[in-house]
Structure 1
């Protein structure tokens, strides 16, 4: 018996999936007990030469693929929202399992595709939509058998992480680091999705559905990119023993799901501190196992292809997921927090006024402070000083994390 696969799109991901199916044919047969064959490839430009076996149907029309006498799995690797969604709907209606690497499309339409898949008794694989080669979705599926996940945090965008690493290690400006990312193929000509946090946002919504069975209202999620981070801010953070990371966070606060995608500072003891370049990392906290961290390549031909191939095995071996996906209720969405004390880096304030809820922890010259206070107090300071910039520090901060010679103590 043979498993027939169609690949939609033959860019970096699509080609990687095709090559991996060819190179790991024996391993797939051993695991599945069936041979896996690529039956068709959907392309955009039929004039472009491609290294595809002549027995494979190559077409620009998805209807040709749907007319194949046997079609078991459709793998979608197209950069767009609407056409891939419609293709996958038709594939499900025909009775095919589907696999996607398209995070933007799946963030918008994943709920509908999963519901439709349940109705047609097929499975959906979407490991490749989040963190490339890191098996975070499979890990969450395993944890959710018994564990209750309470929080997921991650560096989910390799482009932003590369830029922040280059700015710190090579003392580059944001513009210089972005240009280098584009030259290396890590960033698109239009890098907006990466540097403004949209890419990480879509991935966060997908993770929310897996971890909690629902997602927050999109407009309530705090999304901030990395464009406001300057060389001066990077330098001040380094003096304080901290590094900027662009971190997505989603967790339960009571019955409320709270999510954010924004720059955060981490110290040497944090697992994200050493995640550099285009690497991704995901930290999952659940009630039994506690905290676990997964780290690895977040993008690229073969890391993403690896996630797709693992999904191929998953959809062949598993029944459709029955996990409910809902939206938070109005009662839940009205909950807001701002009275929790945490550590912050603030920049642009030479002297700090006295406030009973504000504790000064460290100073790195030129108006860069580490303080402990509530977000409400930070917002009051920012209202009084329009040039003030502030960023949260993940976890607790002590002066031991930094070079004490650079931190005047005894405030």
Structure 2
């Protein structure tokens, strides 16, 4: 029987998970591919560290040794950072190998270049694990884009931030205490900046944008806000209103412009992300034919991420075109230009019953917080004029009971 030879770069949580899954699902992979999958080599940092790897597998700190193997079909990259991973994957493609990566930062920066290089060398690229761990969002978008026109993609793409917000609400904890717990459980790094300030979700958002719309917005135009300004007091006030904070990435096309943001927002009980808790991730896709689809599952961890890599292994071994559906879609949201559409906002520090012809006062929620209808530009003016101290958008459906009459507000 023919054999598919695989090299794994990195043997941390993801790399080890991929190795173990190839061993445990050997029969399933053989059944799908008609060939046996074997790990031929593993790239490591420290040769002295003991690892549970079978004899006969090349264990090396030198990538050149892997490239010089007599047979090498697939290179799986599970390291971190832009370099030397980008260089390694370019060399693998030039050698004629399919590549699979779980490195969202590197792929956000260099994905287009790798895809073009792969196309020129007639090999495939798998990158499902770069976006939402075990959730097959990229494969889903590939299928939807055969006919459907994607209008909007929203996602909770970082499990660490979602865990912190959940703990703050359920455990009545401060941000600092919830972060410490995330670090103790291994969900957050010693330096959690990438997670809590939205950089990790930003990289994933750019990758999703390329899949959904064939292009991405200019990076400096993307609003990126973290969750560090959210306090336990804010969570308590909004919880009484039936609202929950979620750190959400959003991408849509308005006319010929791609708009994207990564920021904390408030969702009501009818929003698909309301019950997405802990380290779970979720992605909601809105398209013109099928409507709204929500995928939810574990966003990180050894085997959820390994699952995405293994599905990509099947994908690339079937030599799928790397740029399949990687084209500009003609879908467009029927919305006003960014910043000009009225939205529903939870606002802090605005004088009670502040009068303005452009604002609609919806509800006073506490002495110094309220819900209003306004454009984002109007809110930014209030902040610049120091008439308000902060704001968060409410997305989904929000209901209030005013003067014994139920009022409904729906915001996408």
TM-score normalized with structure 1 length: 0.94
1:327 Cα deviation after fit: 10
Displacement after TM superposition at 1:318 (Å): 3.6
Q: Deviations over 1:58-84 (max 9, x none)?
A: 000000000000000000000111100
Deviates more, 1:221-230 or 1:380-389: 380-389
Shift of 1:322: 3.4
Q: State the alpha-carbon separation in 2 of the partners of residues 306 and 323 from structure 1.
A: 21
Quick check: 365-374 or 109-118, which moved more? 365-374
Aligned: 1:353 with 2:343: no
Q: For residues 246 and 341 of structure 1, do their structure 2 counterparts lie closer, same or farther at Cα, with a shift above 3 Å needed? A: same
Match of 2:52 in 1: 51
Aligned counterpart, 2:285 = 284
Deviations 1:369-410 (A, max 9, x none): 11111112212221222661101111342216x9x9xx9xxx
Shift of 1:363: 2.1
Alpha-carbon separation, structure 2, partners of 1:111 and 1:325: 10
Query: Residue 32 in 1 paired to residue 33 in 2?
Result: yes
Kindly indicate whether the alpha-carbon contact (under 8 Å) linking 1:213 and 1:323 is maintained by their aligned counterparts in 2: no
> Are the equivalent residues in 2 in contact too, given 1:343–1:395 (CA < 8 A)?
no
SS in 2 for 1:121: coil
C-alpha distance in 1, partners of 2:325/2:3?
Answer: 32
Partner of 1:312: 313
More deviation, 119-128/353-362? 353-362
Distance 2:377 2:202 in 1: 24
Unmatched tracts of structure 1, length 5 or more: 329-334
Indicate conservation of the 8 Å contact 2:270/2:396, yes or no. no
Does the Cα contact within 8 Å between 1:215 and 1:326 map onto a contact in 2? no
- The CA RMSD measured in Å over matched residues stands at 1.8
Contact persistence 2:259–2:338 (CA under 8 A): no
Where does residue 298 of structure 1 map in the other structure? Answer: 299
Distance, in Å, in 1 between the alignment partners of 2:338 and 2:150 is: 20
Q: Which stretch of the first structure deviates more once superposed, 353-362 or 140-149?
A: 353-362
Deviates more, 1:352-361 or 1:185-194: 352-361
Shift of 1:325: 6.1
Q: Which runs of 5+ in 2 are unaligned?
A: 330-335, 408-412
- 1:169 matched to 2:170? The reply is yes
Q: Give the SS at the match of 1:346.
A: strand
Is the 2:250–2:262 contact (alpha carbons within 8 Å) kept by the matching residues of 1? yes
Count of residues paired in the alignment? 397
Partner SS, residue 297 of structure 2? strand
1:323: how far off? Answer: 4.8
Could you say what secondary structure the match of 2:50 adopts?
coil
Equivalent pair of 2:283/2:295 in contact (CA under 8 Å) = yes
Q: Report the equivalent of 1:269.
A: 270
CA–CA distance in 1 between the matches of 2:319 and 2:46? 35
Q: Quote the Cα distance in structure 2 between the aligned partners of 1:86 and 1:195.
A: 29
Matches within 5 A, 1:390-409: 390-399=391-400
Matched residue, 1:179: 180
Aligned to 2:159: 158
Partner Cα distance (1:44, 1:267) in 2: 46
Helix, strand or coil at the partner of 1:45: coil
Q: Using the alignment, how far apart are the partners of 1:19 and 1:323 within structure 2?
A: 29
Q: Deviations over 1:3-31 (max 9, x none)?
A: 00000000000000000000000000001
The alpha-carbon deviation at position 349 of structure 1 amounts to 2.4
Contact in 1 for aligned 2:352/2:364 (Cα 8 Å): no
Q: Match for residue 190 of structure 2?
A: 189
In 1: Cα distance, 2:377 partner to 2:79 partner: 43
Q: Quick check: 231-240 or 195-204, which moved more?
A: 231-240
Matched, 1:142 2:150: no
1:240 Cα deviation (Å)? Answer: 1.3
Write the distance in 2 (CA, Å) between the matches of 1:312 and 1:46. Answer: 27
Note if contact 1:217-1:327 (Cα within 8 Å) is conserved in structure 2. Answer: no
SS at match of 1:37: strand
Contact 1:224–1:263 (Cα < 8 Å) also in 2: yes
Q: Distance in 2 between matches of 1:287 and 1:318?
A: 30
Distance 1:336 1:365 in 2: 32
Q: Which residue of 2 aligns with 1:238?
A: 239
Tell me the SS of whatever aligns to 1:27: helix
Question: Could you say what secondary structure the match of 1:349 adopts?
Answer: coil
| Residues 218-259 of structure 1 deviation map (CA, whole Å, 9 limit, x = unaligned) | 000000000010111111111111000000000101110000
What is the aligned partner in structure 2 of residue 20 from structure 1?
A: 21
Could you say which residue in structure 1 is the equivalent of 2:224?
223
Q: Distance in 2 between matches of 1:318 and 1:292?
A: 28
